[in-house]
Structure 1
Amino acid sequence: MNPIINFILFSSMVAGTILTMTSHHWVSAWLGLELNTLAIIPIISKTHHPRATEASTKYFLIQAASSALILLSGIINAHLHGSWDISQLSNDFTKIMLTTALATKLGLAPVHFWLPEILQGVPTITALIIATWQKIA
């Protein structure tokens, strides 16, 4: 891959992580997670192999579903409380939905079915990025 494109992708990952970690607003946190996800997909499919293509497709679908749940949780919370502030999460349904979505995004125990399949289809360095950097964001 072109070094300029690599630099742009890794810079986007860093920017998405910083945006997610510093946000106090539902939409900006979601935007940071999406920026991080969209930056890692070309890195996953960098090797032109069917397993890498399958891994990037699975990663995209799982992350898109999780992002939709995070956004839906924020919308429900904003509808109930009239605020998009992350610290005002008081409804139990939105807490459960947000926890499930974040657990799926992170690949935590009850919803980790997708993570081994993704890690098997990518090179070791990319698997390291998915297993560590994506968890930080």
Structure 2
Amino acid sequence: TISSNHWMMAWTGLEINTLAIIPLISKSHHPRATEAAIKYFLVQAAASTLLLFSSTINAWHTGQWDISQLTQPTASILLTTAISMKLGLVPFHFWFPEVLQGTSPITALLLSTMMKLPPITILMMTTHSLNPTLLTTLAILSAALGGWMGLNQTQLRKILAFSSISHLGWITIIMAYDPKLTLLAFYLYCLTTIPIFLTINTTKTLKLTTMMTSWTKTPAMNAALMLTLLSLAGLPPLTGFLPKWLIIQELTKQEMTFTATI
């Protein structure tokens, strides 16, 4: 998907990606895992259908299947919807916490990091053709609601899912103005998320209550986890603060002070 310029190849790559992760989601054969796999499949299939429909409409109007030649407005809106569904941006985010909750921490890690890369790449390749207002609205809603909805959770995987939604909002909002900063934000998000999921997997901590009592067993790991979580939250002077600061700075430069304030 990342290396393709043809819509059909990009779509095929996304489909292979989806079909490869489904067995990993349902690996435990637990009813919750099976439910998560079905939810994931249905959402991704719907998103892939929209993406294919979008590219077909565009090809019908322009006569070419090149990803960079997305000029048809309807196709542009459909593509934005499809990628938002694949990424889990608000308001297409409902599947993501449920799927993460139903699977193992390692699979949840893959879903939160590597599985986001192909849709983000497609979004970056087509961002000049997409509606900036729609993209900004989705990004603001994701950043705001992701953080807000995570406050009410006790399950760590759900909290991290909402954190992922919030970070995707930050990543998406700057895409049209500075693609390099988008990649930096995504890489740093992955860099901070990976240790968190690995720690959760090692300590078998799945709830906040368990996490509070696990510090007696592994104090060093818990201290590192706390710092990583603070970094993910964007607390200065930790790593996670840098992309958020740069994004706000870039938005201010683009005279989007209101958006930056939100």
Which of these residues, 35, 52, 64, is aligned with residue 16 of structure 2? 35
Say yes or no: does 1:58 pair with 2:39. yes
Give 2:245's aligned residue. none
> Are 1:133 and 2:145 an aligned pair?
no
Match of 2:74 among 76, 84, 93: 93
- The correspondence of residues 40-51 of structure 1 with structure 2, limited to 5 A, is 40-51=21-32
- Superposed displacement of residue 48, structure 1: 1.2
Once residues 82 and 91 of structure 2 are traced to their aligned partners in structure 1, the CA distance between those partners, rounded to angstroms, is 11
Deviation >6 Å, runs of 4+: none
Deviation string for 1:39-83 (max 9, x for gaps)?
Answer: 000000100100000000000000000000000001000100110
When normalised by structure 2's length, the TM-score is 0.45
Residue 124 (structure 1) aligned with residue 105 (structure 2): yes
Letter in 1 for 2:50: L
- Higher Cα Rg, which structure: 2
What residue identity is the alignment partner of 1:47? S
Aligned residues: percent identity?
Answer: 61
Instruction: Give, in angstroms, the shift of residue 92 of structure 1.
Output: 1.1
Alignment of 1:99-114 (within 5 A): 99-114=80-95
TM-score (structure 1 length as normaliser):
0.85
Q: Deviations over 1:109-136 (max 9, x none)?
A: 2210110110110011111110111101
2:257 counterpart residue number = none
Q: Secondary structure at the match of 1:35?
A: helix
Letter in 2 for 1:36: N
Mean Cα deviation higher: 108-117 or 58-67: 108-117
- Count residues in correspondence: 118
- 1:72 partnered with 2:68: no
Instruction: List runs of 5+ in structure 1 lacking aligned partners.
Output: 1-19
